[in-house]
Amino acid sequence: DNLRPVEQPKVEVKKFVPFSTLEIVLEIPVVGEIKLPDYKKTSAKRKPIKVAANEINQVLENLRTRSADKKKVDRAAKKDDEAVIDFKGTDTKGEAVKGADGKDYPLVIGSKTFIPGFEENIEGMKVGEEKSFDVTFPKDYGAKALQSKKVNFKVKLNKLNEIVKPKIDDKFASTIGPFESLDQLKADIKKQLQAEADQKVERDYESELVNEISDKTKVKIPEVLINEQVEAVKQELRQNVVQRGMTYDEYIASSGMSEEEYAKKEIVPEAERRVKAGLVLSEIADKEGIVVTDKELETRLEQLKSQYKDEKMQAELDKNENKREIAARLRTEKTINFLKK
């Protein structure tokens, strides 16, 4: 039988007679039969994205903002100024609200980076002035624990900078790069935005393609595989939230769910989806005889080594377990490319 074991077997000796008889029972979880649909016929389609003029203008405005000069001023704060502030938020009980505080935070008034009502209260303040005001978080705010919550902010204006932005013209374009005119800069921005959009279209198409085939596939997945993937998803989530300046516990709390509820609703379904998709792609690769050659693996390893100059990282790439992982990824890529064709 073509069994697919997923961990080491449990061994039980049933009968043992020295030099004569040995009866053992091996118990091991395996992947059940994988019943694939007709994976060469799918309804998945690429959904092209066309770069709009306002997207190009937004990039130009961002470049303009980054190129702006800051001039320290001593007057009342107004829209488009950079206000360097200390702030602290407390709830109706006077207790500190997590994530609602900062020191020497540079806030551009009118940028709409803070909750509605906050930036408007900074307008008119002068350097050294302190102010207290209430703001109610939006009902659709990202952190569920703060949705529709009334918070009192105490703010001190430490410094005020007037932002002097350059005029967007041919001269401005020449300071950004090797461009002789504004039209050339715009054309380059459009080209880069379109390349990013095309990459997203391809990623979305691949995801839709694999998910459609996976949804139509029947297979019994051992619990051990799902549990392993659950831990991988959790670890990935921990790394992502740290980059956002939050702890894992704070992120779970912001969802308004307990860790157990969040895992059941978000993490476990994602783990199941990933495991099933992996099994489906592996089964298709087996049926179609898709393999990774030594030359293909060596080429990918060389590409990775050229990206990572650190000697320890390069040594890691030469380890057999990592080579197997890279080969598995390559096989997945080749299988998806086969399906796309």
Entry field: residues in the chain: 341
Q: State both tokens at 19.
A: 């030099």
CB pairs under 8 A, 24+ apart, for 300-303?
300/326, 300/330, 301/326
Asked if 154 and 132 touch (Cβ cutoff 8 Å), the reply is: yes
Q: What is the pLDDT of residues 68-110, one digit of tens each?
A: 999 999 999 999 999 999 999 999 899 998 878 999 999 999 9
CB neighbourhood size of 202 (10 A): 12
Q: What is the pLDDT of residues 156-172, one digit of tens each?
A: 999 999 999 999 999 99
Give percent above pLDDT 70 in the chain.
Answer: 98
Q: What is the pLDDT of residues 272-309, one digit of tens each?
A: 999 999 999 999 999 999 999 999 999 999 999 898 88
Asked if 204 and 47 touch (Cβ cutoff 8 Å), the reply is: yes
What is the Cα–Cα distance from 96 to 90, expressed in whole angstroms?
4
CB neighbourhood size of 53 (10 A): 9
User: The pTM is what?
Assistant: 0.76
